Chain A
Amino acid sequence: MRRPWLLSHFRRRYGANPPHLAGHLVVLAIALFAIDRIANGGGLAELIALYIGFAIVHDLIFLPAYSGLDRAARAALARLPARRAASVPAINHIRAPAVISGLLLIIYSPFISGLADSSYFQVSGHHIEGYVRDWLLISAALFLGSALTYVVRVRRAAAKRGS
């Protein structure tokens, strides 16, 4: 009867099962090894800045920024005269194209901004051209498609109510 006592004692002191501790120690060991390998030639500061920096940029800038934009869009829509009694919420027909267009902007920002131009020219022999235009066209198509779907949905909802 020693074992269960030991186990429950461990649980009380540690807060979880022994495999929990083992798993976490493995992850931490690999992380320390990775940090040592990556920062081998110097650059520990940049590495730490990357890991913490990206988390901070995401949590404190990126997420609040898109949440704020979403709130602003909802507030702007709420101020519009509610003619169609909100049978279909318009917000999602703005959200969807905005989210997709925004993601494309983030992913392809080195090309859309032209920042990648000199390195791209070195590698490919061509300059970056037409990416801003294409991103704008794709975004316009997304918003247009979304607006058309909205009109169709509103009409359908109105017909349903009418019948």
Chain B
Amino acid sequence: MARKLSSPPAPGPFRPDFWRSPLRGPWLTSFLGTLLVPTITVIALTGFISHWAYHPELPGNATIDPAFDIPVLFQFPQSWPSWDYAVTQGTHVTLGLITLPLVLAKLWSVIPKLFKLPTIRNLAGLLERLSLLLLVGSVLVEFVTGILWMEDYYPLHLDFYAVHYYGAWVFGTAFVLHACVKLPTVRRAYRSRGVLKPLREGLQETKPEPPGSSELAPVNPAAPTISRRGLLAMVGGASLTIFAVQAGQSVGGPFRRLALMAPRGRVFGTGPNDFPVTHTAASAQVTRAMAGPDWRLTVAGARTISLSRQQLLAMAQSTETLTLSCTEGWSTTQRWTGVRLTDLASLVGARPGSILRAVSIETDWSTSLSHGQYGDERALLALRVNGADLSLDHGYPARVIVPGGIGSHNTKWVGELRFESA
């Protein structure tokens, strides 16, 4: 009713008759929103699983200050296969990417509302606009930062972990609130049009929803050029294509080559060390000299010992097939050979229940492993991979490799293993 007072008509996109697509309306938006509920839920859950996979409760591991974080609610049981994180993080990244077309279609379907000049009648209306701004802003921030991080290209100054993690809190709560507020609208749309019925309509049967039914339905609809199911098929086709050119990097092996556009979709050789690297020796400023014959491993527990690579190779060796999976969503499974971390723990008389702090010769790099992680029979200080010495890029002279969990816990170029009381 505010319109009566305003004499000049609103310009261009602010005019309600500017948006003419006959597909827009409460049913289409409700359907796209309904599809987003399960996908966003899985993306959020796998995101939190990844956050907790860092074992932020152990010293030096947290990516977010624990004083301003919720407690850890889930961690991978050690009995799970070594590709547990490969599955959850592969899902987080791949599902995130294939949800992007759906998110963009959803935004397309509601664009007239985003342009609607605010006619705020009361506080409720103002709060709703504000939360919608947060919802749209945060969904775009989450997708853009996630995609950039996945591609090892992050030109922003803000800390990725803080932006992506707290952004997820904003997006998550705004998303739940939006779903609650819109539930009656969705119900009404499904009741009047049927949940799936519009999907049976071809182009000939595609009719605009009545303009009075919602602000989304066009007041001046154009003739349809595509059916609603045609639009959804296009969204699905986009998702499928993204899946096809991306997912292979999370599986590895022969599937890696299929990931034509994925950052880790390339295969660079068939040698024992030709699997993907995260963080090269050059970028870590680790030189051949540092990893040469003078290198010694310090192992500290009740007593402290120093071991050369020869001495480590003379100890009992185990071989395990274990998966390395990166937060960026790619994974690789290799056959690692080395000394069991439990053997090293008993060698220095580590107290039961200690944590293991693995310190790299790389400046400023160390991670803490829980007793569950290093106490696993399959957890190794790897010296060799696929029957050959580790390459410098893969952590020569020795690297940690523990089954399951996040790849960054497998410290390369290990200089010190300290078994400390937790």
B-binding residues in A (CB < 8 A): 13-16, 20-21, 23-28, 30-31, 33-34, 37-41, 43, 46-47, 50-52, 54-55, 58-59, 63, 74, 89, 91-92, 95-96, 99-100, 103-104, 107-108, 110-111, 115-116, 119-120, 122-126, 129-131, 134-135, 138, 142
Whole-angstrom distance between the alpha carbons of A106 and B190 in the complex?
34
In the complex, the answer to whether A46 meets B158 with C-beta atoms within 8 Å is yes
Q: Chain A nearest CB: distance from B177 CB in Å?
A: 5
In the complex, the answer to whether B166 meets A55 with C-beta atoms within 8 Å is no
Q: Which residues of A contact B156 (CB under 8 A)?
A: 46, 50
A-B contact pairs, 10 of them (CB 8 A): A15-B121, A15-B122, A24-B127, A34-B169, A38-B159, A38-B163, A55-B140, A99-B238, A111-B263, A123-B278
In the complex, the answer to whether A99 meets B234 with C-beta atoms within 8 Å is yes
In the complex, the answer to whether A31 meets B134 with C-beta atoms within 8 Å is yes
Whole-angstrom distance between the alpha carbons of A92 and B230 in the complex?
8
In the complex, the answer to whether B159 meets A41 with C-beta atoms within 8 Å is yes
Q: Which residues of B contact A107 (CB under 8 A)?
A: 97, 100, 147, 242, 261
Query: Residue B128 at the A interface, CB < 8 A?
Result: yes
13 further A-B contacts with Cβ under 8 Å, apart from A38-B158, A74-B225, are A20-B124, A20-B181, A30-B170, A38-B163, A40-B162, A46-B157, A47-B163, A51-B134, A116-B263, A123-B283, A124-B263, A124-B277, A138-B241
Residue among B115, B169, B241, B393 making CB contact with A104, cutoff 8 Å: B241
Cβ-closest 3 pairs across A and B: A15-B124, A15-B122, A116-B153
Q: Chain B nearest CB: distance from A159 CB in Å?
A: 18
Q: Which residues of B contact A120 (CB under 8 A)?
A: 151-153, 263
Q: How many residues of B contact A (CB 8 A)?
A: 74
Residue among B101, B111, B141 making CB contact with A50, cutoff 8 Å: B141
Q: Which residues of A contact B282 (CB under 8 A)?
A: 122, 125
In the complex, the answer to whether A138 meets B166 with C-beta atoms within 8 Å is no
Q: Which residues of B contact A63 (CB under 8 A)?
A: 107-108, 111
Q: Which residues of A contact B169 (CB under 8 A)?
A: 30, 33-34
Q: Which residues of A contact B278 (CB under 8 A)?
A: 123-124
Whole-angstrom distance between the alpha carbons of A26 and B125 in the complex?
16
- B65-113 interface (Cβ within 8 A of A): 68, 97, 100-101, 104, 107-108, 111
Whole-angstrom distance between the alpha carbons of A143 and B204 in the complex?
25
In the complex, the answer to whether B153 meets A110 with C-beta atoms within 8 Å is yes
Whole-angstrom distance between the alpha carbons of A133 and B395 in the complex?
33
User: Looking across the interface, which residue of chain B has its beta carbon closest to that of A112?
Assistant: B261
Q: Chain A nearest CB: distance from B108 CB in Å?
A: 7
Whole-angstrom distance between the alpha carbons of A120 and B150 in the complex?
11
Q: Which residues of A contact B234 (CB under 8 A)?
A: 92, 95-96, 99-100
